[in-house]
Structure 1
Amino acid sequence: MASQLYCNFLHLNKTVTPTFTDKPTELAHIEKQLHQLNHHISNLFELRSALLHRSNQLTSPVYIVPHEVLSYILNQAHEMKWLRPPPHNRQSIIPLQKAIVLSAVSRQWRQVAFGTSKLWENVECQGSRQLYKDSSMIIQHCATYATSLNISLYTQGHMLDAADDPDVIITALSTSDVRRKLKSLKNTCCELSPQWIQLLPSFLRLESLAIYGGNYPNIDLGSLPLSWVSLSGATFESLTLPPSVQVLNLKDHSARLSIALLYNCPRLIKFTSQPGPYSKAIIPSSPLVLDTLKKLMWSPAQSFVEAASATKLEIPVIERLELSDSDKLQCAPFTVLCHQISASLEHLTLKSFSLYNESSEFWQQFFKFPIPKLRKLSLVDWEHNVMTPAILALTPGEDEDGYRDRSLPNLEYLCINSLGFYDGPYSFDSKVLELVKRRRIGEDSPFHLDFSFSFQDYGGVQATWRPEIMQEFQEFLANRPVEITMAGWEVTLDQLTRLVQ
């Protein structure tokens, strides 16, 4: 291209003037010269750009960074969160986009990027009209340069090209590189053939698995090193998980599957179960011991009570229990069960309790026995007429020493949150004041109180407080280490006054 620096047009022989017999011939000659000149000018611009680029390479630190320093930078870039420029700066750039951007800086950067495994480990495939075709190529590329793979496939909310064949994804997942390197798989591609599930036992390093939707045949994953599993709306004729599973999340599944998998996974630390609306519990016959389980979330609460009673469930180190939906909940077995596991319990959450449990006697009985280690109690999304007796049950009587003998001696966080339509005054203000005063909250240690009583038919407006009660509430808490929040939002006592009056 250097020869293009020398141009015959700059050395025209002005003493020689061509002659033409007619104007069309002369015009044709001029047009030819102009075309040649324009082409030459274009080449000069291209040459200028190339020379400037090379000059930058020779002088810019970006292009002369030592290999080991650049490798360190790219490894750190993998951990950083990048945001798009305005107006999309709330959208983060996914890891694979970072890898592509960094590898495009220069040849050296590309070589170092290809040698930086972490840049290619996280493969998120979404948002393309040819999702399966594009994802297949991306997976194969990343499998070449990564030492381990975390693959996520998303199709929800995207219009796909009719010619896009989902089977190419199965082909990509079947390659030897992917089988050897895959550690995490998240699949929301319900359009995939159910046969893809048969590939799972061949991913010998698979530790994390999430499946959303789909109907699948029998599958045995007992030989895999899985530690984290999430199944949402996925049904199986039968499913076997390995005993290595520590976290198991089940949603919109059959209760039969839930119980069976608990027997599969004796080392569980966290378990979440939310069966489908028409799922009937299958009562097992043998005892169930989960002596490592620390966190349990189950809905509806009654199915947990039934399963725990039938299996003689033992969860000796349970620290956090969250139960939702009190539909058909039987009070006595529920109370007995909660007190049986109370020795280690530190955080209890009861969500969406309604008319079935509105009696004062039930909550008086429930809070009668101590839960010695309980630090956090959350009563969330209750109906107003259920919350009222619960608050009264948590409030020591006038003849009780609310500080010395209260049933929850280590309580440091209390959330009382109810919502519903207005059907008469509930006097939440006086009830909360009595609770705070008689329990002597904040007397010797910090305390966090979160409350919200909203009326849906008034646009979610909070129940009002009478001025004299609010003043007494403020005076009582004025010099105490008590944090007040409303539905999770931090408020000062002055702000609280404006919100509830």
Structure 2
Amino acid sequence: MASAVNSPECDYLRSITALYVFAGEQAELIHVNEQLSSLDRHIAELNTLRSTLHRRTVQLQNQLLPIYTFPLEILSYIFQLVVGPENYHRYSGGCYQECLRQAFVLSSVSSHFRHVAFGTSELWDRISLQIVEDKAIGNISPLLQHCISCASRNVSLCIFERRSNEDYRDTRSVIENFITLETTRKVKIFHLHGSTHVWMWIPEINAPSFPMIETLAITCEEIKATDFRKIDFGEMNNLTRLVIIGSDWLDVPIILPPSLQYLGISTVSQKVFVSLLYQCPNLVECSADTGRELDGPPFTKPLILNHLRRLQTGAMNAITMSSSLQYLQLPSLESLELNHFNERPSLDIVPFCCNVSATLTSLAISTRSKTLDYEDLHQLCRFSFPKLRDLRFTSIYVEPLMSVIHSLSPLDTESNNPRPLNLPALEFIIFNSPLCSEGDPRILLDLLKNWWSDEALYLHVQLRPFLSSEAVWTPALREEFRLIKGSRQIKITWGHNEITESPAPLESQP
């Protein structure tokens, strides 16, 4: 029997249906199923529309937040602060890794952050790659390509290579992927650290591959001096900093560019060191370990290093020889650190120190001698250093330090002077003995009784005697030190603790 059916109250269904008269229930069922299917499609479209509108609402709400209303330049600057700009000039692989990790974190927050992060070159120009045992390196190439593409023309790169001697194929693969002009053309700072396969990198380091390089540091315990013959440093016209650290003595001649301003070599022969100085007229800072005896002639022609301000080297050096003073001129030297590693008491460095005394502001001397020649000490401590502010002596024995304190103390004729007249600018004096066998507080206190009275002169004596603990400082000795010190700036560190009126609590002692 035929039946009349009214559609349910729904605007969507009302627009597509009307009053139907069905011949039977079968026809009505077909019609209802068609309506259900149509309604399901409509609901799906509504859900899609709702999701789209909801996402847009969230986007608009986020864009109204303060962080999204910042100009891109300000947000980019904030990102630079996040990655640690205070460490920007620190050449540390760990620092590079942390900066790169934070860069990826920032770029994964949102599409807006990713857009700003990828456009902030400072997030990507410090790259650290590690080639170590049991670590997959398949992602090194895409990581490097991403960083190079996002970075500016000022990339700093640290490569750490630590793999077994037999496992060199991965290293060769990385070299082949890395040493392309597309990646190396932006590198200005390159640090290469390794233990086994650094020699594979050496031939690839050249001016055509690294046209912009300014800083090059190579550290390897097993690299041979002859390997450096494969690098033509002389063609690197932009190179200003060169560091070579290895266990093998650098005793082969190498060519350096005149642009070099900083030179650091861990172990170098005297002959090679002298030849390097002649090649670097613009040198500002130099650090070299020349512990061996002189293996060649000292300076034989004039050498004027007008720009050299900081020098750290061994005392047994062609530079410090009296015969070299007629050839060598260092008119701008401000900081001098000499390692007197021989065990002879004579201080051969005195003539050289006096020769550069007019400009020195900092002088540090380390010695392994058990005693020091009194005449040499007296000449050094009584010579005029008009600009010297910082004076440091380090010795593994206590006796040399006590001798220096005695030589610096006022003479009977100077008892009315508050400070040494030959050291008018002196501010800090530090005596350090990190591994001395024993120490006697009585000897030290007797020397300090005659110390200068100027309250602006700071004296710090650091002793770490492993056969004499802080317990040797009895209450009577502490009280005597308090009276000697008075209003003067005198500090004594015994072991790990500062000597005060009362002993340090036990929990603070190591």
Report the Cα distance in structure 2 between the residues aligned to 1:143 and 1:197, rounded to whole angstroms.
22
- Alpha-carbon distance in 1 for matches of 2:213, 2:131: 25
Aligned amino acid, residue 393 of structure 1: S
What whole-Å deviation, never above 9, does each CA across 1:257-298 have from its counterpart, x for those lacking one? 322221111111111011476984663422221111111111
Note the C-alpha offset of 1:424.
Answer: 7.6
State the AA in 2 paired with 1:212: T
Alignment map for 1:305-320 (pairs within 5 Å): 305-306=320-321, 309=324, 312-320=327-335
From 177, 181, 193, give the equivalent of 2:182. 177
Residue 122 in structure 1 maps to residue 149 in structure 2:
no
Question: Aligned residue for 1:216?
Answer: 228
1:296 aligns with 2:311: yes
- Specify the SS of the correspondent of 2:312: strand
Mapped contact 1:302–1:328 kept (Cα < 8 A): no
Query: Where do 1:91-490 residues align within 5 Å?
Result: 94-126=98-130, 129-130=134-135, 133-148=138-153, 149-156=155-162, 162=167, 165-189=170-194, 190-194=196-200, 196-202=202-208, 203-213=210-220, 214=223, 215-223=227-235, 224-233=237-246, 235=250, 237-275=252-290, 280=295, 283-302=298-317, 304-306=319-321, 309=324, 312-327=327-342, 331=346, 333-355=348-370, 357-401=371-415, 402-403=417-418, 406-420=421-435, 422=437, 425=440, 427-436=442-451, 439-442=452-455, 446-458=456-468, 461-462=469-470, 464-465=472-473, 467-468=475-476, 470-480=478-488, 482=489, 484=491, 486=493
Q: Provide the C-alpha distance between the structure 2 equivalents of 1:327 and 1:347, rounded to a whole number of angstroms.
A: 22
d(CA) in 2 for partners of 1:405 and 1:284? 35
Distance 2:270 2:357 in 1: 25
Distance 1:346 1:191 in 2: 42
- Gap change, CA 1:159 and 1:313, over 3 Å in 2: same
Contact 1:132–1:166, Cα closer than 8 Å, also in 2: no
Give TM-score scaled by structure 1 length.
Answer: 0.75
CA contact (8 A) 1:395 1:434 kept: no
Percent of matched pairs sharing the same residue: 25
Say whether the 8 Å CA contact 2:219–2:244 is kept in structure 1.
Answer: yes
Q: Aligned pair in 2 of structure 1 residues 254, 411: CA closer, same or farther (>3 Å)?
A: same
Aligned partner of 1:21 in structure 2 is none
- 1:350 match: secondary structure: strand
Q: Provide structure 1 residue ranges, at least 5 long, that are not aligned to the other structure.
A: 1-46, 83-90
Shift of 1:348: 0.6
Cα distance per residue 1:270-327 (max 9 Å; x no partner): 1101147698466342222111111111124455424972773211111111011330
Q: Distance in 2 between matches of 1:277 and 1:301?
A: 7
Superposition map of 1:47-86 within 5 A:
56-61=58-63, 66=68, 69-81=71-83
Q: Aligned-residue CA RMSD in angstroms?
A: 4.0
| Preserved CA contact (<8 Å) 1:429 1:466 | no
Please name the residue that 1:20 is paired with: none
Deviations 1:66-117 (A, max 9, x none): 58734532333223357xxxxxxxx866221122222222333323322221
Tell me, in whole angstroms, the C-alpha distance in 2 between the residues paired with 1:341 and 1:207.
30
Q: Secondary structure at the match of 1:155?
A: strand
Query: Structure 1 residues 58, 323: closer, same or farther in 2, change over 3 A?
Result: same
> 2: distance between equivalents of 1:272 and 1:139?
32
CA distance in 1, matches of 2:177, 2:445: 65
CA distance in 1, matches of 2:179, 2:500: 61
Distance in 2 of aligned mates of 1:376 and 1:154: 37
8 Å CA contact 1:180–1:205 kept in 2: the answer is: yes
Q: Alpha carbons of 1:450 and 1:133: their partners in 2 closer, same or farther (altered >3 Å)? A: farther
Segments of structure 2 that go 5 or more residues without pairing to the other structure are 1-48, 85-93
Contact 2:384 2:422 in 1 (8 A): yes
Deviations 1:311-350 (A, max 9, x none): 7321111111101133055736421111111111111101
2:467 alignment partner, SS class: helix
Task: Point out the structure with max Rg over C-alpha.
Answer: 2
After TM superposition, the score normalised by the length of structure 2 is 0.74
One-letter code aligned to 1:122: R
Q: 1:290 to 1:383 in 2, by over 3 A?
A: same
C-alpha displacement at 1:489, in angstroms?
8.0
Distance in 2 (CA, whole Å) between partners of 1:380 and 1:49 is 73
Q: Deviations over 1:226-273 (max 9, x none)?
A: 122211117584422222221111112333332222111111111101
Equivalenced residues, count: 440
Distance 1:53 1:256, change over 3 A: farther
